[in-house]
Structure 1
């Protein structure tokens, strides 16, 4: 099988913990190069098992052996380096959010069309099989006509730290960091775009970033409620409520946090709240994501997650933030 040679821009923790193991596990990928501008490239390449290291991002983009790059830089730097990478002839998988405004996403889309390179925003969770099963249940009418969806993603963050999630200049904030998953999940599972958005949130004094955000998304015939926070205990779940019951996905975005087995879990309840089904789903969502994207590059096909959908997700996020400012 043909293998896509990957390069990674930066030594970010998510790359070390999640993406490097995924590249090694996938059958159609190999880790070729890593770049760092902090003098750690050589040590990181040795630790990660990369064949080559580069001491600047530009040098990696000039490496002729790199087919595609993974970009886990701070949010505010995504647009610059995604566009640069594509103009250097590299395909791109960029961490979510792909940029911090819909105008930025539009520029990335234009660069993709201009260069002919393929790019995708890294919402890895959507490739986990538990979500396709939820959609099957909905389509079969298992819970009747869907009326509402609720999605939550929160975790405790040291709000006195210098974490980049608390830096507004780098695209910090709970909605950008974890709430974006909730927005995406509602759009993905419901299969529509919201017609109206109302949001509220709490900002940290000094930094100005939202440490918690809640919003109501009104779709054509379904309502969705999302909430996210840096100031609550860890929770990553969604549930879909219908006229005949509900579907619960208690480890929607991080199935590895399931303390029983690290697997995805889908629970179905009837209209009285009685459990009628409980099913687990195995799979490394990071591996499934990079396998899908790499296979699209090999086959010359488009990923299932499109630039248009990325653009629409950011427009909803912008609408939530705009609504906050009006309160």
Structure 2
């Protein structure tokens, strides 16, 4: 197909399976090549995941980067390897769709973004829920001042049991998320990233003035964060909080509170169903009387999907890449800017935790 975007996948990590399934749904995308650190591993991965037979399989990352037909890379490598391979990819003129968190610090992220900008390359992180049609519908509610009104508070939570999720590997300590050299931000980076992004999204990416971590952050035996939380405060008194943990059952909530009502979402990152997803808007609230309960209007809104949110994300990224390649468009800086703001706030949370819950000015 003349207009298709040819993707290379840099790693055979388990997370790559989801994106491969999404890519196969899109006629404008071709899975051109997959690389691993050995040919045997990538061949086994391709066989187990119904990878198209015409896909090239490389036994090293360097071989994939040397493939001039590759337009863009999906990079699901551990965070600790991102800087090295993104810089090498930028030198080879490959656009980057990267798993979150993109870096251990904003300083690392800036190195990557500078290299991509210098080479005229598109960047996007893998925060897939932002591309879900439900998210666009929620945005319309937040931007309608007559519904929930001026936003005053945002609260987000994302927890799951890492010991259960990675039991076959030997628990969290055997997974990259529990290794300080590979994914050193632990729960803060893996799932706290989504919570912080949800807060920024609700406040239209306006940065808070300060960040203060909550008491009780916990670590695994290797020194990686397994649970934490923080409060954000804006100049005008608006606030937000988040909590995240590897130690509980699944919780995935986003609550946006305005002067007239609220928006509530119980599965904002990964919808419970692939074909449809909803959220609730509560408005027109008032007391019936002192002891008689309260009145409210509940509007449950829902969207249906023909393709999953991951495919929507890949489609948007591929559209941007194709427009740059074909000369009809330019790099969209919004995605790098949003990613950097998220990373700045993660840095501030970690700094606050490590400095006795000190309030950090942003």
Find the partner of 1:295 among 315, 319, 334: 319
- 2:161 maps to 156
Task: State the 1:109 CA deviation.
Answer: 1.4
The answer as to 2:193 corresponding to 1:180 is yes
Distance 1:157 1:274 in 2: 38
Counterpart of 1:318 in structure 2 is: 347
Equivalent residues of 1:252, 1:264 under 8 A apart: no
Indicate conservation of the 8 Å contact 2:9/2:73, yes or no.
Answer: yes
- 1:152-181 Cα deviation digits (max 9, x unpaired): 111001156411111111124100100011
Residues matched between the structures, number: 323
8 Å Cα contact 2:5-2:71 kept in structure 1: yes
Residue 48 (structure 1) aligned to one of 38, 48, 51: 51
**How many Å separate the matches in 2 of 1:262 and 1:218?**
36
Aligned to 1:232: 248
Larger radius of gyration: 2
* Contact 1:238–1:249, Cα closer than 8 Å, also in 2: yes
State the partner residue of 1:137: 141
What is the alpha-carbon distance in structure 2 between the residues aligned to residue 290 and residue 205 of structure 1?
34
CA-to-partner distance for each residue in 1:182-241, whole Å, 9 max, x for gaps? 111111121111111011352324211111111101124421111110001101120111
In structure 1, stretches of 5+ residues that fail to align are none
Residue 305 of structure 1: CA displacement?
4.0
Q: Report what 1:90 is aligned to.
A: 94
Give, in angstroms, the shift of residue 275 of structure 1: 4.6
Counterparts of 1:59 and 1:189 in 2: how far apart (Å)?
42
Deviation of 1:120 after TM superposition, in Å, equals 1.5
Q: Deviations over 1:123-162 (max 9, x none)?
A: 1110112222222112212012211011111100115641
8 Å Cα contact 1:45-1:52 kept in structure 2: no
Give the match for residue 2 of structure 1: 3
Alignment RMSD (CA, Å): 1.8
Between the aligned partners of 1:160 and 1:316, the Cα distance in structure 2 is: 25
CA contact (8 A) 2:219 2:227 kept: no
Is the contact made by 1:71 and 1:93 (CA closer than 8 Å) also made in structure 2?
yes
Which residue pairs with 1:203 in the alignment? 218
1:108 aligns with 2:112: yes
1:249 aligns with 2:265: yes
Structure 1 range deviating more: 60-69 or 199-208: 199-208
Change (3 A) 1:127 1:220: farther
Q: TM-score, normalised by structure 1?
A: 0.93
Pair 1:285-2:309 in alignment:
yes
Tell me, which stretches of 5 or more residues in structure 2 are unaligned?
164-170, 286-293, 325-329, 357-362
Name which of 55, 63, 66 aligns with 2:70: 66
Determine whether 1:216 maps to 2:231. yes
Query: How far apart, in 2, do the equivalents of 1:305 and 1:122 lie?
Result: 14
For residues 232 and 305 of structure 1, the distance between their equivalents in structure 2, rounded to whole angstroms, comes to 34
TM-score by length of 2: 0.85
Question: Could you say what secondary structure the match of 2:191 adopts?
Answer: helix
Is residue 173–residue 179 contact of structure 2 (8 Å, CA) maintained in 1? no
Structure 2 distance, partners of 1:138, 1:304, is 23
Q: 1:24 to 1:171 in 2, by over 3 A?
A: same
SS in structure 2 opposite 1:41? helix
Alignment match, 1:265: 278
| Contact preservation (8 Å) 2:257, 2:263 | yes
Give the 3 Å change call, closer, same or farther, for CA 208–35 of structure 1 in structure 2: same
Distance in 1 between the 2:208 and 2:128 partners? 22
**Hey, what does 1:170 align to over in structure 2?**
182
